[in-house]
Structure 1
Amino acid sequence: MDSWQDKDYKGYICGIVGQLKDHFPDASYLAFNFREGETQSQIADVLSEYDMTIMEYPRHYEGCPLLTMEVVHHFLRSGESWLSLGQQNLLLMHCERGGWPILAFMLAALLIYRKQYSGEQKTLDMIYRQAPRELLQFLCPLNPIPSQLRYLQYVSRRNVATEWPPLDRALNLDCVIMRFIPNFDREGGCRPVFRIYGQDPFLASDRTPKFLYSTPKKNNTFRAYKQVKLFSSRYCCESH
């Protein structure tokens, strides 16, 4: 999570690459990097000096540590294809600042996709235990695990599904359960406004995210909620 000066960062990565080459002198490497922004990352510049191939993916989609199924599918196919070429092919995974949640999810997806592990919850928990649990809470104000588990189910059930990757579908969100409600009104509650962004399910040719829904702000509907209350609202939104 700490910022690195360019010189210090390059020296750190070069040290890791040197150790890898000492331990695996005959290996070929493919690196996946989950980056912030669209410009070429620091690690891509460093690894290119070692003739390593690097593929870069975003570290979130609209602020959530998940990617579209098309991108997840591309990642899984690329990783599987590279590793299946031979025992000397090694796969490196790296994330930039704040990218740990998406790296953990994508690694779990790859392990399940290659049938090296089974069980979505068990696999994801095993990977998250490699870092302090507080790190996930620090990086994600919302708990990403339920959504990540749902996407891992798509991966584990791909052989029984009629289509893979699954097509985008509209879904009905019946309710939102908030287990920890911020105390904004000094009475143990708040007046939440939910906004939903996603792809318009009725415009298949347009893939850009759009504002799909917001809870009304009128005084007679803008209710105050406290702990253990259930928020219910029904609307249509894009599932992927």
Structure 2
Amino acid sequence: LVFFQQRRDRVLEGSTRVIPSIQPRPLPIRNMSVSRTMEDSCELDLVYVTERIIAVSFPSTANEENFRSNLREVAQMLKSKHGGNYLLFNLSERRPDITKLHAKVLEFGWPDLHTPALEKICSICKAMDTWLNADPHNVVVLHNKGNRGRIGVVIAAYMHYSNISASADQALDRFAMKRFYEDKIVPIGQPSQRRYVHYFSGLLSGSIKMNNKPLFLHHVIMHGIPNFESKGGCRPFLRIYQAMQPVYTSGIYNIPGDSQTSVCITIEPGLLLKGDILLKCYHKKFRSPARDVIFRVQFHTCAIHDLGVVFGKEDLDDAFKDDRFPEYGKVEFVFSYGPEKIHGMEHLENGPSVSVDYNTSDPLIRWDSYDNFSGHREDGME
């Protein structure tokens, strides 16, 4: 994260070299139909966000045969229009056909509907800036299969990254990126994606100060009980990931309908967390070998400065648009600077109607959604 200070220092020293676009005015945001075949398939979304940043997106449900055909035609179009001056950033899972079709590919994939690590956002922006500044004819292609939120994170982050050193004649490019993000991404993005864009912007500008203290998580309190069972209530359990590696699995809490207004999941001793954190709360279905996601939230400890952090429904991935999660619902995290039990928290104890099953050896509980992402598939990921 020294990246942020170095970026600000370079700007202050006046050493950042900014090369203007080939033409002074960016193209308006538009979809480009590469061929009648792709237009008919309704699966490809190719947009010139600016003259030098192109977004190519396919839905996760894209027919594989059409997808491969469209990939080939996109490659032909890019080569005919930009020659060897385009660099493709793959934001999805690795695919051999992508690297075969394009001469220059950088792999930056992360799971769909999630936010990338803060360090990865830094690396993407730095690579984009280096390529665009190397030659005024160079263009960047952002490739994505799945929700367009991935492209949105990159566009918004690069907008802030370039803004810190941008010249006046790049104002239209910044406006185009902002318009693309607000019109095409915000309506479909996840709260954690917006949170990380906020982190990135704040750390770049200095408005967010870095927290370097260790944080220990002791309690996760869900205020407002979601209704995931036919008679109300739910059976939640937590999975916590650090740098996308599982570090904690809670017991399964059985909460009958209307019996509680909140539930507290206590971790003792406190769990040391550092860096990119993903907390995923599941509901284990009653008498069924299945689980549903109640909510998901991603945050970075460098931006956490309070020992009590509250995420409202609008801040929780999945839950923010799920009617089963109450509108007034929120999730509270209680941290400390050490693993020792926090005294004076007896009021958080759950009532007698809440039981806990600590048998977490069930494969359904232990199963890791992200275990195979670095491979070639992300299908079936929750």
Q: What TM-score do you get using the length of structure 2 for normalisation?
A: 0.43
Q: Quick one: which of 85, 89, 114 aligns to 1:32?
A: 89
Q: What is residue 234 of structure 2 aligned with on the other side?
A: 190
CA distance in 1, matches of 2:233, 2:266: 22
Q: What is residue 223 of structure 1 aligned with on the other side?
A: 255
CA distance in 1, matches of 2:211, 2:83: 38
Query: Does the Cα contact within 8 Å between 1:30 and 1:91 map onto a contact in 2?
Result: yes
The Cα shift of 1:122 comes to: 7.8
Task: Assess, with a 3 A threshold, how the Cα gap between structure 1 residues 30 and 173 changes in structure 2: closer, same or farther.
Answer: farther
Q: How does 1:108-147 map to 2 (within 5 A)?
A: 108-115=156-163, 117=174, 124-128=181-185, 136=188, 145-147=190-192
Q: What is residue 46 of structure 1 aligned with on the other side?
A: 101
Q: Deviations over 1:71-130 (max 9, x none)?
A: 22211110111112233110001123x353323222322222222548xx987433416x
**SS at structure 2 position matched to 1:2:** coil
Structure 2 unmatched runs, 5+: 1-60, 164-172, 277-382
Q: What is residue 78 of structure 1 aligned with on the other side?
A: 127
The Cα shift of 1:55 comes to: 0.5
Query: Does the Cα contact within 8 Å between 1:197 and 1:211 map onto a contact in 2?
Result: yes
Query: Does the Cα contact within 8 Å between 2:88 and 2:142 map onto a contact in 1?
Result: yes
CA distance in 2, matches of 1:42, 1:228: 52
More strand by share: 2
Query: Does the Cα contact within 8 Å between 1:27 and 1:88 map onto a contact in 2?
Result: no
CA distance in 2, matches of 1:124, 1:195: 31
Q: What is residue 205 of structure 1 aligned with on the other side?
A: none
Q: What is residue 212 of structure 1 aligned with on the other side?
A: 248
Larger radius of gyration: 2
Task: Assess, with a 3 A threshold, how the Cα gap between structure 1 residues 125 and 25 changes in structure 2: closer, same or farther.
Answer: closer
Q: What is residue 4 of structure 1 aligned with on the other side?
A: 64
Task: Assess, with a 3 A threshold, how the Cα gap between structure 1 residues 95 and 165 changes in structure 2: closer, same or farther.
Answer: farther
Number of residue-to-residue matches in the alignment: 201
Query: Does the Cα contact within 8 Å between 1:59 and 1:65 map onto a contact in 2?
Result: yes
CA distance in 2, matches of 1:29, 1:228: 57
User: Pairwise CA RMSD of aligned residues?
Assistant: 4.0
Report % sequence identity. Answer: 17
Q: Quick one: which of 134, 139, 153 aligns to 1:105?
A: 153
Task: Assess, with a 3 A threshold, how the Cα gap between structure 1 residues 123 and 27 changes in structure 2: closer, same or farther.
Answer: same
Letter in 1 for 2:92: R
Q: What is residue 72 of structure 2 aligned with on the other side?
A: 14
Letter in 2 for 1:4: E
Letter in 2 for 1:210: P
**SS at structure 2 position matched to 1:74:** helix
Q: What TM-score do you get using the length of structure 1 for normalisation?
A: 0.64
Query: Does the Cα contact within 8 Å between 1:188 and 1:227 map onto a contact in 2?
Result: no
Give yes or no for the alignment of 1:153 onto 2:198. yes
**SS at structure 2 position matched to 1:194:** strand
Give yes or no for the alignment of 1:69 onto 2:113. no
CA distance in 2, matches of 1:65, 1:4: 23
